[in-house]
Chain A
Amino acid sequence: MRSFVLLIKISWRNVWRNPRGTLLTALALGLGLALLLISLGLLDGGHEQTIANGVRFGPGDVAIQAKGFQDSGSQELLLPAQVVSTINEFLQTDSMKQVLLGASPRLLATGLLSSAANSASVTIIGVIPREERAVSLIPQRMIEGTYLSDDNPAGIVIGADVARKLEVKTGSKVVLMTQAVRQPGTKVKDVTGGEMQSTLLRVKGIFRTGIEAVDADVIHLPLPVAQTLLGVPDNQVTQVALFLRHEGDSLMVAKSLRKRLAGAPVEVLTWRESMPMLAQILGLDHAFNYVMNGVVLAMVGLGILNTILMRVLERRYEFGVCKALGLRPAQLAMMIVGESLALTAISLAFGLALGLSVEHYFATAGLDLRLVFRTGLPRALVVDPILYSRLSPARIVSSVIIVFIMATVISFYPALKAARTKLPDALKVL
């Protein structure tokens, strides 16, 4: 134990034999580490925002819909009334109340929206305005007029690109046409299944999300209006979208729901399953960033290796004296590993101080992407213009651990070189 403490002392002091060199090396390595932390924070923050936007502009963290709807998108596939009722019961449980932000039942269909000037094919989403407001981001992105309200049944909100195409504004009249859902052998609300139906609506508001797929396609109207237009009973919808307080709970909620709805003709999908392209894009982004971070780590590691190896090669005589005095090869190796870890610790201190300071700034003030994309954000970018960093304690700890493991492994080569110092050759005075 005493000799171990001695070796640690020698290792620490050896790092400071050349203070300027050590500080410069540590600064360079620390910059690399800071870059790693900043990029991880922005990556995680960007992904978090992208998922949040995707979820809250789309089908929610968990979507319950009729079996086959994900693949076919057929508006004839509806959730049975019993299922909707079971879902509502489930949402009232204590465990769900803790994790649930809100739920939005929706009726989905495709149709044609026409004005005096033009027509556009649209995705119709029938919503309960009060519940949709609590969970969706569309009500927060109104650029004209207001969002739907429960007391105005004839209103409709449309995307900015739809409005531009139809040359309409708030207050304009539009006609929505669609095909009624086939209900075998039934006539619902005076609508015969399969027939084309249309209704006159007034534009109550126009929204812009920045997502082309939404702004050029989506319209919201009150659920009862949509149900009447499509000939769907009041207790049936296409989908119930659940929005959770934490995205991480989606798997657990989906699993519970699948268990509860076992045997029913439904599919319960997490956002990764209902938006597979988004999941793939994020996965690719993660992979690319891991590669880039690996490159940064490799550069940091090579910097440590270069410094330690040079110091080992310069001290051959000193190691010869140590071995002559009785220091064992393993002890000599331990000394070198200790120096590597000491240098890594100093670099980490710099890196953490710089990285976390910058990360904190980006976490609070954010990184304005408009400074990068001066001519405007690409329309395909599914994030807000201001990117907020989100660096979790787990990420920081894992980064520190990875760097230390890397430094330890990297130091094995110079440590082995020192341990293999040959006597008496090393003691020859040049």
Chain B
Amino acid sequence: MIEPAVQLNEVRKTYRTGPIEVPALRGISLRIAPGEFVATAGPSGSGKTTLLNIIGGLDRADSGEVWVAGQNLQLLASGELARVRLRRIGFVFQTYNLLPVLTALENTEFTLLLQGVPAHTRRAKVEKLFAEIGLAGLENRRPAELSGGQQQRVAVARAMVTEPALILADEPTANLDSATALALLDVMERLNRNTGTTFIFSTHDPQVMERARRLIRLRDGQIASDEAHDRQAAVVTAKGGDV
């Protein structure tokens, strides 16, 4: 049996603000296989971001097990969690992903530098990725000199460059127009197919939900539905053909 990229067993998380308790996750269990392209969707307060934070080791569950790339994150100290984030997980945030004082190339190789990868290896990896995702020629530009879409592509490149097991993208298209969002999704989908890296999104964006091959809907901290979403089959069916 193939080890899952992510496995959650009865994960619970409650936020406390003084006397007020807000349950964010109420016993979530799920399993995500390597290479999946998954979107989590739901209204505000449904627990999407909390779920991603716990999978990414940015927050800890109050109870339950969180397995990522074969490691139980609940048992790791904060320093070990940081190492897991550096080596095994890539992040694409909604906005202000990049360090404003570093160029596109320097932002992308940032995590490789932290890992101690030599310069020639770093440069080769970054240049290859930039060519793949349409950033060639933009290496020496700083974030302020890039469009929103280009900045997000650099963020995707930075997330991919360490060849992580898993990429977590929290509303990556929220600040992009629809054309740019589509282009970004194309990039991520292509990378997912070519490299087998698992992608997990949290999103409100219907375009992202449409492109995901699996859609997990959350409501009030619980999984409301978990649907495999085969776009190719849907397209063939719509045209009247066989899958």
Contacts and interface: CB of A to CB of B under 8 A. Distances in A.
Given A6-B113, A10-B101, A423-B58, A325 B91 contact: yes
B96 A318 contact: yes
Given A2-B116, A6-B113, A429-B94, A326 B99 contact: no
- Please report whether the interface of chain A is mostly helix, strand, loop or mixed according to DSSP: helix
B74 interface: no
A321 B97 contact: yes
A127 B200 CA distance: 100
B123 interface: no
Interface string B103-123: 000000011011010000000
B96 A324 contact: no
Contacts, number: 65
Contact of B114 (A17, A326, A424): A326
B111 A14 contact: no
B113 A325 contact: no
A2 B91 CA distance: 22
Nearest to A423: B58
Interface residues on A, range: 20 to 34
A427 interface: yes
Contact of A10 (B49, B53, B59, B102): B102
A30 B58 CA distance: 42
A328 B82 CA distance: 7
Given A326-B82, A326-B83, A321 B93 contact: yes
Contacts of B85: 324-326
A17 B59 contact: no
Nearest to B49: A424
Contact of A323 (B82, B83, B113): B82
Given A2-B116, A324-B58, A327-B114, A17 B82 contact: no
B116 A427 contact: no
Contact of B101 (A2, A13, A323, A327): A13
B240 interface: no
A6 B110 contact: yes
B18 interface: no
Interface in A1-25: 2-3, 6, 10, 13-14, 16-17
Given A3-B113, A6-B110, A10-B101, A324 B79 contact: no
A424 B59 CA distance: 6
B99 A318 contact: yes
A279 to B, nearest CB: 54
A328 B80 CA distance: 10
Interface in B18-63: 49, 53, 56, 58-59
Contacts of B4: none
Interface string A111-135: 0000000000000000000000000
A2 B121 CA distance: 13
8 smallest beta-carbon distances between A and B, as pairs: A326-B86, A13-B101, A424-B58, A424-B53, A423-B58, A326-B85, A424-B59, A6-B113
25 contacts: A2-B113, A6-B113, A13-B102, A16-B101, A317-B96, A321-B96, A321-B97, A321-B99, A324-B56, A324-B58, A325-B110, A325-B111, A325-B114, A326-B82, A326-B83, A326-B85, A326-B86, A326-B114, A327-B82, A328-B82, A424-B58, A424-B59, A427-B53, A429-B95, A429-B96
Given A326-B82, A427-B93, 10 more contacts: A6-B114, A14-B101, A321-B99, A324-B58, A325-B91, A325-B114, A326-B111, A326-B114, A423-B53, A424-B58
